[in-house]
Amino acid sequence: MTLLPQEIIRKKRDGAALSAAEIESFVQGLVAGSVTHAQVAAFAMAVFFRGMAMDERIALTRAMTQSGTVLDWGSLDLPGPVLDKHSTGGVGDNVSLMLGPLVAACGGFVPMISGRGLGHTGGTLDKLDSVPGYTTQPDLDLFRRAVREAGTAIIGQTADLAPADKTVYSIRDVTATVESIPLITASILSKKLAAGLQALVMDVKTGSGAFMPTLEGSRELAESIATVATGAGLPTTALITAMDQPLASAAGNALEVRNAVDFLTGAHRDVRLLEVTVDLCAEMLVLGKLARDTAEGQARIEQALASGRAAEHFARMIAVLGGPADFLEQPERHLPAAPVVKPVFAGTAGTVGAIDTRAVGLVVVALGGGRTRPQDAIDHAVGLTGLAELGAEVGPDRPLAFVHARSEAAAEAAEAGLRAAYRIGEDGEALPPVLERIGGS
C-alpha cells in the first residue's frame, strides 16, 4: 500500500505517533523526488509543534542514515575501534583539532566529518582551510588512506552521505524549525551513523555562546542524542560543557589552528580547553574499550599528549591530506597573518564579571572570520587572541584581548564590539568546564 506523504503529515499534525514504515516512506520519497519541498516544510513544522517520541526519532535517524552511502571500515582491517565526537558549536571551540590525534595516539581511529561555521560559531573545516594545501573535501580513497595512516582525518560531508539530511536542513533553515530537538537529533546522528562509527561522544554546549543557552535545553538535547544514537545501534555518551566564555583563548580560523599546534606541542595550553578535551577523549576511549574507565582514559590521553605522540598524528594527518610536511614545526611560516594586530583595553580596570560569548563570536564574524550566509567568503587570518577569562583582572597593562584585523577601521569596530561583550565588575562565577555526563539508554 502506498503511503501518501500528505497523510503522514496530517497524522503528525494531529499529534499522532508515526510508524517506522511511515517515516521511512516519507524519507525515501524525499530522496526520490516524490515528496516535495513544501511537504518537507509542512512535515518539519508539524514535528516542531507536535514533537516526536524516542521511537520516532530513532526511526527518522535510521531512515535518513540509509538515504545515501554508509561507510564501512571493515575492509581496512583497522587494529582499533572507529570513534568520533560531535560538538554543538561555540566560540574558540577547536577541540576537534586536538581530539582526533589524541584518540589516534591511544589506538582509536577517528574519521571526523565536520562542518563549516555559520552565525557566531566557528567551523572546523574553516579552521583547516587556513592550512595551505589541506584537502577538506577528499575523495573516499584519500579519506580512507588518511584514517589508516594518521589514525584520524577531519573532512567535510560528501554529497552521498545522508543526502536526505541536507535537504531537510536547508528547508528547516528557512522555515523557522531549526530548533526542533527531534530534527536536530536526526540531523546530527544520521551523518555520524553514515560515517560507519562504532561509538560517539557528544559535546553539548550550554551558556551565552551556545546554540542551546540554557542548561535545561542543553540537557534535553543531550538526552535525546544519547538515547536515540544508542537506540539506533551507535553507543553514545554526551557531556554538557560550558560555553559561558570562549573555550580557547583564541577565536578565528588560523589563530585557533595555531592555538591547537601550541596545545599539542606543549607551548601553551588553555586550562579549560585542556579539561574539556581530555574528558571528551577519555569518554571515547571507554566507549571504544581502549580504557576500563574515565580515570584510565584521562591518564592515557595525558600521556599521549606529554609524549608528543598526539602531535605526530596531527602532523601526519595534515601531510597526508595535502598540507605542509613541516607544518607542526613551522606553523607561522604557513598560516596567514593579519596585517593589523592591536590590544583592546576595557574602559575601566577591574575583574571580568560576565562575557556575552555570542557577541564575541560575532566580533570575529564582523572582522571577516565567519559567515552569515553559506556563500560568504572567509578571511582566515583575522580574529582574537589572548581573550581574558571570567574572573581575570584587566586594566591598563592587561588587555581584554588582541584584535587581528585586515584594516585599522576593522580593528576599531572590533574593539568597540569586544568592550560591549565584556562586563567589568563583580567577579562572576564561571561554570565548571564539564557540567554533566549523560549516557544512552
Using one digit for the tens of pLDDT, what is the confidence trace for 223-251? Answer: 999 999 999 999 999 999 999 999 999 99
The answer to whether 287 and 199 are in contact (CB under 8 A) is: yes
Mean pLDDT across the chain: 93
Choose which CATH entry (3.40.30.10, 1.20.970.10, 3.40.50.12280, 3.40.50.360) describes domain 5-51.
1.20.970.10
Band (425; pLDDT cuts 50, 70, 90): confident
For residues 19-45, average pLDDT: 96
Q: d(Cα 259, Cα 82) in Å, to the nearest integer?
A: 26
| Catalytic residue annotation | 84-87, 124, 172, 187, 191-192
pLDDT band at 176, cuts 50/70/90?
A: confident
Domain 74-330+434-439 fold: Pyrimidine Nucleoside Phosphorylase; Chain A, domain 2 (3.40.1030)
Indicate the pLDDT class of residue 439, thresholds 50, 70 and 90: confident
125-144 mean pLDDT = 93
User: Does residue 175 register a pLDDT over 90?
Assistant: no
Domain chopping of the chain, boundaries: 5-51, 74-330+434-439, 336-425
Report which of 94, 400, 383 is spatially closest to residue 259, judged by C-alpha positions.
Answer: 94
What is the percentage of the chain residues whose pLDDT exceeds 70?
97
Average of pLDDT values for 238-266?
97
Q: Is the pLDDT of residue 315 over 80?
A: yes
DSSP letters of 87-129? E---SS--HHHHHHHHHHHTT-BEEEEE---BTTB--HHHHHT
Check residue 157 and give its pLDDT: 76
Give the model confidence (pLDDT) of 135-159 as tens digits.
999 988 999 999 999 999 999 877 7
> pTM value?
0.92
- Does 5-51 match 74-330+434-439 in CATH topology? no
Distance CA 215, CA 228 (A): 20
Q: Which of 251 and 89 is assigned the larger pLDDT?
A: 251
Reply yes or no on whether the pLDDT at 376 is more than 90.
no
Chain Cα centroid distance, residue 83: 15
* 179 — pLDDT class (breaks 50, 70, 90): confident
Residue 140 neighbours by CB distance under 10 Å: 12
Q: Best-predicted range by mean pLDDT among 190-194, 226-230, 278-282?
A: 278-282
Give the containing element (helix H, strand E) for 412: helix 408-421
Residue 1 has pLDDT above 60, yes or no: no
Cβ-contact 317, 150 below 8 angstroms: yes
pLDDT band for 178, please (50, 70, 90 cuts): confident
CATH top-level class of 336-425: alpha beta
Q: What is the mean pLDDT of residues 420-424?
A: 96
